[in-house]
């Protein structure tokens, strides 16, 4: 399954989002409109992120409480959530299971200067570094 499709499913898919992207830019349009808070809740319920991790890499808990009242994330928050979901989906595809990916994402990695990959997902550049490393691992290139 392509990473974009896995990412979409990771945030709840059509059941949570309410529509299914059929073209590459559909996800961008959904992000601009703001994803439902249920998309973030789906990541939490699936065990892929903890509330403390959401607080660090997606949005603060207080802001999440406010967004729950509104029902939608902002475009920026939606973008961060989708960025994290894409990296998690890539890790799961690379390592072949949610459990192995979760362990790798939470373990300090020498190839990332001793940082935990999950902690780097709060920025675009950090996410690129994590995804590049996952690509190297997936292709059997020594990390």
Those residues whose C-beta lies under 8 Å from the C-beta of residue 20, and which sit 6 or more positions away, are: 8, 13, 14
Percent of residues, the chain, with pLDDT higher than 90: 87
State yes or no: pLDDT of 1 exceeds 80: no
State yes or no: pLDDT of 123 exceeds 90: yes
3-state SS, residue 36: strand
Mean pLDDT computed over 29-40: 96
3-state SS, residue 115: strand
Q: Are 89 and 3 in contact (CB under 8 A)?
A: yes
Q: Are 107 and 115 in contact (CB under 8 A)?
A: no
Mean pLDDT computed over 112-131: 97
16-25, 72-81, 82-91, 109-118: least confidently modelled range: 16-25
Q: Are 129 and 115 in contact (CB under 8 A)?
A: no
Token look-up 């920025």 returns: 123
0.85 surpassed by pTM: yes
Q: Are 37 and 71 in contact (CB under 8 A)?
A: yes
pLDDT in tens, 61-107: 999 999 999 999 999 999 999 999 999 999 999 999 999 999 999 99
State yes or no: pLDDT of 59 exceeds 80: yes
């Amino acid at each position: 399954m392509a990473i974009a499709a896995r990412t979409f499913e990771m945030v709840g898919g059509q059941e949570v989002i309410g529509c299914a992207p059929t073209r590459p830019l559909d996800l961008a349009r959904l992000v601009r409109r703001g994803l439902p808070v249920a998309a973030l809740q789906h990541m939490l319920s699936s065990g892929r992120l903890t509330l403390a991790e959401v607080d660090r890499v997606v949005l603060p808990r207080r802001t999440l409480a406010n967004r729950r009242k509104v029902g939608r994330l902002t475009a920026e928050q939606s973008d961060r959530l989708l960025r994290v979901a894409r990296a998690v989906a890539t890790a799961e595809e690379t390592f072949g299971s949610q459990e192995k990916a979760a362990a790798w994402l939470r373990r300090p990695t020498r190839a990332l200067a001793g940082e935990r990959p999950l902690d780097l997902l709060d920025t675009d550049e950090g996410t690129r570094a994590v995804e590049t490393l996952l690509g190297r691992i997936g292709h059997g290139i020594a990390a």
